[in-house]
Amino acid sequence: MKRLLVLNGPNLNLLGKREPGIYGHGTLDDAVKLARETATEKGIEVDEYQSNHEGELIDAIQQAEGKYEGIIFNPAAYTHTSIGLRDAISAIEVPVVEVHISNVHQRESFRHHSMLAPVCQGQIVGFGLLGYRLAALALIESLEGRR
Ligand code: DHK
């Protein structure tokens, strides 16, 4: 059975309560459910992991090699700072799609730059939790050779 990993970084455990004007009222479980629904239709399983710790996210990326066909990754604040996460993504063959719930380009300038985007397969920004579903679809379509 093919599998995808939904990986979430710092403060995303607070989705639903955290700055709802920016991130909405949906929870992290809701986000994972959207990705899982799309994957299940294609017979693909979805696992999830969230951590507030950079090193734990790096561990999860390293351990994804050979276990997952793709990673849907919202690195949250580490997007803008983490060379360690970028190097971890570069070190594996598993494709990674970067997701942001908010449109980071409409926000503070420090959110406009992603350290990770250049080593990801693609980036989905600004569609709320729907981004998780879109990322699952993008990974699955590319696995199936349709793009
Ligand atoms: C989530 C965060 O926690 C921020 O640090 C990023 C991202 C944006 C999001 O929109 O999902 O800047």
* pLDDT one-digit tens code per residue, 87-131: 999 999 999 999 999 999 999 999 999 999 999 999 999 999 999
For 11-67, the pLDDT digits (tens) are 999 999 999 999 999 999 999 999 999 999 999 999 999 999 999 999 999 999 999
Q: Is a pLDDT exceeding 70 seen at residue 147?
A: no
Query: In this structure, is the dihedral angle defined by the CA atoms of residues 114, 71, 69 and 130, taken in order, positive or negative?
Result: negative
Contact status, residue 49 vs residue 35, Cβ threshold 8 Å: no
pLDDT at 1: 87
Nearest CA to ligand 1 atom 7: 76
Does residue 74 have its Cβ closer than 6 Å to ligand 1?
yes
Whole-model pTM: value is 0.97
**CATH of the domain spanning 5-98+125-137:** 3.40.50.9100
Does residue 31 have its Cβ closer than 6 Å to ligand 1?
no
Pairs from 122-125 (Cβ < 8 Å, separation ≥ 24): 122/97, 122/98, 123/97, 123/98, 123/99, 124/97, 124/98, 124/99, 124/100, 125/99, 125/100
Query: Which residue from 12, 19, 57, 79 has its CB within 8 A of the most atoms of ligand 1, so it is best to mutate?
Result: 79
Instruction: For residues 133-138, give the mean pLDDT.
Output: 98
pLDDT at 39: 98
Nearest CA to ligand 1 atom 1: 76
Q: Is a pLDDT exceeding 90 seen at residue 86?
A: yes
Binding site, by residue number, is: 74, 80, 87, 101-102, 111
Q: Which atom of ligand 1 is nearest to the CA of 22?
A: 10
Does residue 96 have its Cβ closer than 6 Å to ligand 1?
no
Contact status, residue 98 vs residue 116, Cβ threshold 8 Å: yes
pLDDT at 146: 73
Share of the chain above pLDDT 90, in %: 97
Residue count of the chain, please give it: 147
Nearest CA to ligand 1 atom 8: 76
Contact status, residue 58 vs residue 88, Cβ threshold 8 Å: yes
Does residue 100 have its Cβ closer than 6 Å to ligand 1?
yes
